[in-house]
């Protein structure tokens, strides 16, 4: 793909690149959406790739504090790590790289990213 090119470091997105946590995230968000009476099928596609607080704030729900709700969702997501798996080949590939030459960049809070990486067996 890049013959003859050298790279100093690599940045990887987390979900869908090195691991898959969609099932866990969607379980938590589905429960939250149902509690608020949202249409789950149309709501779920809006949660991926951005911070929870942004997703919640965009809904402009009366009486809903995005900061409080995002914190509650973070705690719920941190408690639900079932089914988080590495993308095939990701662990071996990352272990083949010098550890100081790659990093994960994600919209997930650091605490949640570290928990999901551990659940998937992704080295830190």
Catalytic center residues: 13, 15
Distance from CA of residue 23 to its chain's centroid?
Answer: 11
Q: Is 2 helix (H, G, I), strand (E, B) or coil?
A: coil
CA distance 25 to 80: 8
Q: What totals of helices (H) and strands (E) does the chain contain, helices first?
A: 6, 4
């Amino acid at each position: 793909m890049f013959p003859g090119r050298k790279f100093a470091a690599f940045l990887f997105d987390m979900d869908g690149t090195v691991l898959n946590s969609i099932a866990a995230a969607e379980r938590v968000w589905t429960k939250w959406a149902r509690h608020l009476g949202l249409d789950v099928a149309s709501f779920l596609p809006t949660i991926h790739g951005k911070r929870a607080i942004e997703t919640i704030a965009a809904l402009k729900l009366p009486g809903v504090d995005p900061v409080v709700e995002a914190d509650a969702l973070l705690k719920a997501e941190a408690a639900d790590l079932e089914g988080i798996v590495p993308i095939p080949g990701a662990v071996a590939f990352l272990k083949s790289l010098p550890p100081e030459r790659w990093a994960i960049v994600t919209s997930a809070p650091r605490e949640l990213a570290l928990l999901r990486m551990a659940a998937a067996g992704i080295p830190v």
